[in-house]
């Protein structure tokens, strides 16, 4: 029974975020897992002798996981500010994301995370609104960033342009629509 409920919840969320649902139960909390294949671009600025700040964006296609495999559900774009301590390799970050479903409805939220340089970070994502059929949507879950590859280019002003690819994961994400 729990497997059927999980499959229905995942299917519901996939349809909800992809824009294919004509109607759904409001004020009902749904839990699901999702991911995005993201390209990250930003600028690295030295903040102290062993402190770096990376400011950039992550963007890519967004998928909701179901028992039948991932379902394409739109696009996600996130702004990020990450502070890296080069002495310990620890990092902390925060930012915001906008999800755009295939029908144009949007949802947005904020996140924070902690982790290690080149390994990624884990934290909390809080959904706090949206447009169209996602207006008033709220939710919360774990967000994880795992970089796969980095390319850095030193600039004349001392900053470094950084591009990376990786995966953004949302785990045990609970969403409620109004």
pLDDT digits (tens, 9 = 90+) for 128-176: 999 999 999 999 999 999 998 767 677 777 777 778 889 999 999 999 9
Question: pTM of this prediction?
Answer: 0.81
- The Cα–Cα gap between 117 and 104 comes to 35
**Tens of pLDDT, residues 9-57:** 343 344 445 444 333 455 688 999 999 999 998 888 889 999 999 999 9
User: 2-176: which CATH topology?
Assistant: AOC barrel-like (2.40.480)
pLDDT, tens only, 73-115: 999 999 999 999 999 999 999 999 999 999 999 999 999 999 9
Phi-psi region of 88 (alpha: psi -120 to 50; beta: other; left: phi over 0): alpha
For residue 66, the model assigns a pLDDT of: 94
Contact 141, 159 (CB under 8 A): no
> What residues does 177 pair with on adjacent strands?
none
Torsion of CA 4, 176, 129, 70, to 10 degrees: 0
Q: Where are the domains of the chain?
A: 2-176
> Count of CB atoms within 10 A of residue 163's CB?
14
């Amino acid at each position: 029974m729990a497997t059927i409920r999980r499959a229905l919840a995942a299917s519901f969320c996939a349809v909800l975020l992809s824009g294919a649902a004509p109607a759904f139960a409001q004020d009902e909390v749904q839990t699901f897992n999702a991911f995005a294949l993201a390209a990250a671009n930003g600028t690295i600025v030295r903040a102290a002798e062993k402190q770096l700040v990376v400011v950039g964006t992550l963007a890519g296609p967004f998928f909701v996981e179901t028992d039948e495999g991932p379902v394409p559900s739109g696009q996600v774009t996130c702004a990020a500010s990450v502070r890296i301590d080069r002495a310990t390799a620890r990092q902390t970050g925060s930012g915001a994301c906008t999800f755009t479903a295939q029908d144009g409805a949007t949802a947005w939220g904020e996140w924070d995370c902690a982790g290690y340089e080149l390994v990624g970070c884990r934290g909390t994502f809080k959904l706090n609104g949206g447009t169209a059929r996602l207006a008033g949507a709220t939710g919360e879950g774990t967000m994880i960033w795992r970089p796969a590859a980095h390319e850095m280019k030193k600039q004349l002003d001392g900053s470094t342009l950084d591009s990376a690819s990786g995966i953004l994961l949302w785990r045990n994400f609970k969403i409620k629509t109004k």
